[in-house]
């Protein structure tokens, strides 16, 4: 552990969604890559302003659903037709029709797990340590303030120039967070 | 210039149509509250000192809950004979209570998933509590099928777990479909509820003053920072979960109805059951949401968040689903006559005019007649009357399940197998006790978790809209 802490990011506070949206647009045009906007609620249109592509969570849900359906159908086939065949009520030992309700529920179950776990995976959550929480002001990111965070590891980052850019965008309070 | 030369005789070549008068929507959050007011109000309920009224409700609820567990312990140790059921009524209050509770759960999922897909923004102030209600109702519902099996220590045979007898569950039975439907429903509701909670847990963490609170909320908040890159995935996940939950909620009560409809018992063997059960479930659930929300908004002073408009809209859903249920009652009778099956017709005549006539007509008056009062705006907006009607809805829907189950069973084909079911005190106290469990869980929820979705409510205010002046938009700047 070195004695001189490394800078982690510049944190700029904004007061309204419109201001932070405008700032996000400008930061994207300026060509930054390792940056983010933190808001207490999702702001409609911010993905476009930041240039974020459509989320990939859907693939995880789909894979989960397919696994659920496959498990359901093959489990019922294995249990009722293969491993323990016993005739009940003159019904066939296996039919996708009577196997459907259970397979359907398992499709939904695993698709939901796929969705939630996929979201956590794409967001790299749970995250045990995040230097951004060192900022006292940042607590308001879950209340009523909007933040633009530009990381020091961004190739375009410069402690003075980036600060100037954020000041020009109308941020009232800019803070350097250390790692 | 144009303004000065305008006259009645002269029509300008290019008329600019007057902008249509914008229809004012009633705001979802009254009195133009700020974002921080929303946070402070909702989080404040959890952070403040435990109010006296909370203890006044919690202690009796917890006692009633213990009574429920005591009754269950007695049932398990003494055997199923402590209940009133016997031949020919082999299912009675146990399955009635199961269907009653699982039905209540459906409103939570409907509010959180279906209304989300339909972009009904008013759902944001009630969805969290309604989803919590779903979870606790499913917990209550899960108890009854579990304990009604008799030898409860073999209840795990319901699940496809390898056992010493080398046999597997029988998937042709709707009773087994039910096991999967209800357990999936409980799990998915929990996932959906938790997903919605994550941003609010982060808010609670950021406001926490004590170490324990910071750790507990922080642990479950997963390190949420409100990052927009995260919100992007989060919103997609939320939308997908809503899309997944919608067919789920419709399937669960359909499968519950298969427990009856797939049998060959007159009075049960009808194709109308799945849609009729789903409508009834939503109806009963909205009844319970109203029963919980009306006192809640008063004691927690949430009038600006759960407005009269919210209650009005919930009354309309209650009335619509109540009418569907009324239609189903009528259609059952029509088909019993039109189908030409004498046993079916007898079952329905017996239902309305037989020894259980009192249950049938209680059901009809509570479920069909009572909600029709919601046609009147004055009634929909009078919280006291709405509360009373919601209680009747709850009672009526319990009777519906009792009527369907017991009146269909109590007279078998031969008069020698006729009987009359009466509950024992154990039956009654177990059912009453399940309300204790439900209320205890709900009171704990409202004490420790934000009971209104903070981030979602903020998202529907004008302050959150970057194109609205309150959201900081400059005139003519988009």
Q: Can you spell out the DSSP letters for B177-196?
A: HHHHHHHHHHHHHHHHHHHH
What tens digit of pLDDT does each residue of B207-228 get? Answer: 999 999 999 999 999 999 999 9
- The verdict on A49 and A62 lying in the same domain is no
Within an 8 Å CB–CB cutoff, is residue A109 touching chain B? Answer: yes
Q: Which chain A residues are Cβ-neighbours of B245 within 8 angstroms?
A: 108, 112
- Chain B interface test: which of A53, A115, A129 (most B C-beta within 10 Å): A115
B9 phi and psi, to 5 degrees? -85, -25
- Can you tell me the distance from the alpha carbon of B107 to that of B287, in angstroms, rounded to the nearest whole number? 9
User: Cα(B384)–Cα(B317) distance, rounded to whole angstroms?
Assistant: 18
Question: Are residues A71 and A90 located together in one domain of the fold?
Answer: yes
A101 touches chain B (CB under 8 A): yes
| Residue A78 shares a structural domain with residue A100 | yes
At B13, the pLDDT band (50, 70, 90 cuts) reads low
The tally of domains found in chain A comes to: 2
Long-range contacts of B272-278 (CB under 8 A, 24+ apart): B272/B328, B272/B331, B272/B332, B272/B335, B275/B324, B275/B328, B276/B324, B276/B325, B276/B328, B276/B332, B277/B99, B277/B103, B277/B253, B278/B106, B278/B249, B278/B250, B278/B253, B278/B254
Note whether A55 contacts B192, CB cutoff 8 Å: no
B180: which chain A residues are within 8 Å (Cβ-Cβ)? Answer: 101-102, 105-106
Average pLDDT value for chain B: 91
- For the residues A158-169, what does the mean pLDDT come to? 91
- On whether both A160 and A117 belong to a single domain, the answer is no
* Residue A135, domain extent: 7-53+128-178
Residue among B188, B233, B241 minimizing CB distance to A123: B233
Chain-chain contact of A116 with B237 (C-beta, under 8 angstroms):
yes
Inter-CA distances, B436 with A119, B124, B160, B293, Å: 36, 27, 32, 17
Q: Where are the alpha helices (DSSP H) in B6-151?
A: 35-47, 52-78, 93-109, 115-117, 127-148
**Measuring CA to CA, which residue among B213, B220, B224, B282 is closest to residue B252?**
B282
Q: How far apart are CA B221 and CA B3, in angstroms?
A: 60
The residue behind tokens 């509590």 is B129
List strands edge to edge, sheet with A35-38: A35-38, A146-151, A7-14, A173-178
Per-residue pLDDT at B442 = 96
Q: Do A41 and B456 touch (CB under 8 A)?
A: yes
The sign one gets for the Cα dihedral B275, B279, B284, B286 is positive
Token output for B108: 């939570």
> B167 contacts in A (CB within 8 Å)?
84
Angle at B256 between CA A115 and CA B263, to 5 degrees: 140
- What secondary structure does DSSP assign to B129-148, as a single string? HHHHHHHHHHHHHHHHHHHH
Quick check: ipTM above 0.90?
Answer: yes
Residues A124-138 have pLDDT tens digits of: 999 999 999 999 999
CA distance B466 to chain A (A): 4
> Are residues A134 and A111 both part of a single domain?
no
CATH number at residue B218: 1.20.1630.10
| Cα B170 from Cα B175, distance rounded (Å) | 9
The whole-number pLDDT of residue B477 equals 47
Cα angle for residues B126, B132, B134 (degrees, 5° grid): 100
Nearest chain B CA: its distance from A139 CA (Å): 5
Query: What is the tens place of the pLDDT at every residue in B417-454?
Result: 999 999 999 999 999 999 999 999 999 999 999 999 99
Residue A2 lies in a domain: no
Which of A86, A112, A169 to mutate: most B Cβ within 10 Å? A112
Within a domain: residue A1?
no
The predicted-structure confidence for B243-285, as pLDDT tens digits, reads as follows 999 999 999 999 999 999 999 999 999 999 999 999 999 999 9
Tens of pLDDT, residues B281-318: 999 999 999 999 999 999 999 999 999 999 999 999 99
Handedness of CA B221, B222, B226, B230 (dihedral sign): negative
- Can you tell me whether residue A38 is helix, strand or coil? strand
| CB spacing of B191 vs A113 below 8 angstroms | yes
Residues A49 and A64 in one domain: no
Nearest CA in chain B to A49: B228
Which residues in chain B have Cβ-Cβ distances shorter than 8 Å to A21?
466
**Residue in B with minimal Cα distance to A41:** B455
Return the pLDDT at B379.
95
Tokens (6 digits) for B360: 């049938």
Contact B396, B425 (CB under 8 A): no
3-state secondary structure of B324: helix
CB B288 within 8 A of CB B106: no
At residue B26 the predicted structure's pLDDT band, cuts being 50, 70 and 90, is: confident
pLDDT at B336: 93
Q: How far is B197 from chain A (nearest CA, A)?
A: 12
- Dump pLDDT digits (tens) for B447-463: 999 999 999 999 999 88
Tens of pLDDT, residues B317-373: 999 999 999 999 999 999 999 999 999 999 999 999 999 999 999 999 999 999 999
A91 in a structural domain: yes
Task: Return the pLDDT at B15.
Answer: 65
Between residues A142 and B17, the one the model is more confident about: A142
The number of distinct structural domains making up chain B is: 1
Highest mean pLDDT among A112-116, B11-15, B112-116: A112-116
Q: Is A84 on the interface with B (CB under 8 A)?
A: yes
Tokens of B385: 């009357």
Question: What is the per-residue pLDDT for B478?
Answer: 45
Range name among A32-36, B162-166, B179-183, B404-408 with the lowest pLDDT average:
B162-166
**Residue B396 and residue B359: Cα distance in Å, rounded?**
9
* Coil/strand/helix, residue B118: coil
Q: Which residues of B touch A122 (CB under 8 A)?
A: 233
Model confidence at B9, pLDDT cuts 50, 70, 90, reads low
A41 and A64 co-located in one domain: no
Q: Which domain holds residue B299?
A: 41-461
- The structure's pTM equals 0.92
Q: With beta carbons less than 8 A apart as the criterion, state whether B302 and B37 touch.
A: no
List the structure tokens of B36.
């921080």
B167: alpha, beta or left, given left = phi > 0 and alpha = psi -120 to 50?
A: beta
Close Cβ partners of B361 (under 8 Å, ≥ 6 residues apart): B352
Mean pLDDT of B455-472: 89
Do A39 and A17 belong to one domain?
yes
Q: Is B335 exposed, middle or buried (0-12, 13-18, 19+ CB in 10 A)?
A: middle
- Picking from A82, A103, A102, A104, the residue whose alpha carbon sits closest to that of residue A93 is A82
Pairwise CB contact (< 8 Å): A79 & B168: yes
In this prediction, residue B25 carries a pLDDT of: 74
Q: Which of B182, B223, B255, B474 to mutate to test the interface with A (most CBs of A within 10 A)?
A: B223
Is A44 within a domain?
yes
pLDDT in tens, B129-160: 999 999 999 999 999 999 999 899 999 999 99
- If asked whether residues A20 and A69 sit together in one domain, one would say no
Q: Is the pLDDT of residue B73 over 50?
A: yes
CB contact under 8 A, A57 and B181: no
CB B133 within 8 A of CB B290: no
DSSP B10: P
**Rounded-to-integer distance, Cα B256 and Cα B97, Å:** 13
Chain B: nearest CA to A73, how far in angstroms? 11
Is the predicted pLDDT of residue B4 greater than 60, yes or no? no
Task: Say if CB B104 and CB B255 are below 8 A apart.
Answer: no
Which parts of B353-459 are beta strand (E)? Answer: none
pLDDT of residue B1: 42
Please list every residue in chain A whose beta carbon sits closer than 8 Å to the beta carbon of residue B177: 101-102, 105
């Amino acid at each position: 552990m070195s004695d001189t802490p490394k800078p982690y990011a510049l944190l700029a506070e904004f007061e309204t969604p419109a201001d932070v949206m405008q700032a996000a647009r400008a930061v994207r045009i300026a060509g930054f890559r390792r940056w983010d906007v933190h808001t207490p609620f999702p702001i409609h249109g911010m993905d476009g302003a930041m240039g974020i592509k459509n989320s990939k969570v859907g693939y995880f849900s789909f894979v989960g659903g397919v696994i659920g359906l496959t498990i359901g159908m093959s489990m019922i086939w294995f249990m009722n037709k293969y491993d323990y065949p016993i005739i009940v009520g003159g019904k066939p030992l296996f039919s996708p029709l009577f196997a459907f309700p259970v397979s359907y529920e398992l499709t939904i179950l695993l698709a939901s797990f796929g969705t939630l776990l996929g979201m956590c995976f794409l967001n790299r959550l749970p995250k045990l340590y995040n230097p951004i929480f060192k900022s006292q002001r940042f607590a308001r990111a879950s209340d009523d303030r909007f933040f633009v965070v530009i990381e020091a590891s961004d190739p375009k980052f410069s402690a003075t120039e980036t600060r100037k850019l954020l000041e020009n965008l109308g941020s009232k309070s800019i803070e350097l967070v250390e790692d | 210039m144009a303004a000065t030369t305008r006259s009645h005789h002269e029509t300008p070549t290019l008329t600019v149509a007057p902008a249509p008068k914008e229809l004012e929507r009633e705001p979802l959050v009254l009195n133009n509250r700020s974002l921080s007011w929303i946070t402070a109000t909702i989080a404040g309920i959890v952070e403040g000192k435990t109010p006296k009224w909370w203890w006044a409700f919690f202690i009796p609820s917890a006692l009633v809950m213990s009574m429920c567990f005591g009754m269950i312990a007695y049932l398990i140790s003494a055997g199923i004979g402590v209940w009133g059921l016997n031949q020919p009524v082999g299912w009675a209050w146990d399955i009635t209570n199961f269907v009653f509770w699982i039905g209540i759960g459906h409103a939570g999922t409907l509010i959180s998933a279906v209304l989300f897909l339909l972009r009904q923004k008013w759902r944001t102030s009630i969805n969290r509590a309604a989803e919590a209600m779903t979870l606790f109702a499913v917990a209550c519902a899960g108890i009854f099928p579990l304990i009604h099996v008799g030898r409860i220590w073999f209840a795990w045979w319901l699940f496809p777990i390898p056992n010493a007898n080398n046999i597997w569950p029988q998937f042709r039975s709707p009773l087994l479909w039910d096991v999967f439907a209800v357990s999936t429903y409980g799990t998915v509701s929990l996932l959906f509820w938790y997903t919605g909670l994550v941003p609010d847990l982060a808010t609670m963490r950021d406001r926490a003053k004590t170490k324990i609170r910071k750790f507990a909320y922080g642990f479950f908040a997963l390190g949420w920072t409100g990052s927009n890159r995260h919100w992007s995935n989060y919103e997609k996940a939320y939308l997908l979960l809503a899309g997944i939950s919608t067919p789920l909620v419709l399937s669960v009560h359909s499968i519950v109805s298969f427990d009856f409809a797939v049998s060959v018992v007159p009075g049960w063997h009808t194709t109308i059951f799945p849609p009729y059960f789903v409508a009834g479930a939503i109806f009963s659930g909205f009844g319970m949401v109203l029963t919980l929300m009306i006192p809640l908004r008063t004691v927690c002073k949430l009038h600006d968040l759960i407005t009269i408009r919210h209650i009005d809209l919930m009354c309309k859903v209650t009335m619509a689903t109540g009418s569907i249920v009324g239609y189903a009652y009528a259609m059952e009778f029509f088909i019993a006559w039109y189908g030409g099956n004498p046993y079916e017709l007898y079952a329905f005549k017996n239902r309305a005019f037989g020894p259980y006539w009192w249950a049938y007509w209680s059901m009809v008056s509570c479920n069909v007649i009572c909600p029709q009062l919601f046609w009147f705006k004055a009634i929909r907006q009078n919280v006291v009357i709405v509360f009373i009607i919601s209680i009747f809805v709850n009672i009526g829907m319990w009777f519906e399940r009792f009527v369907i189950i017991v009146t269909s069973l109590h007279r078998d084909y031969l008069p020698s197998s006729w009987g009359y079911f009466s509950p024992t005190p154990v039956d009654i106290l177990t059912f009453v006790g399940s309300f204790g469990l439900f209320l205890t869980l709900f009171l704990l929820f409202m004490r420790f978790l934000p009971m209104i979705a903070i981030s979602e409510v903020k998202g529907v205010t004008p302050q959150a809209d970057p194109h609205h002046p309150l959201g900081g938009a400059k005139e003519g700047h988009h």
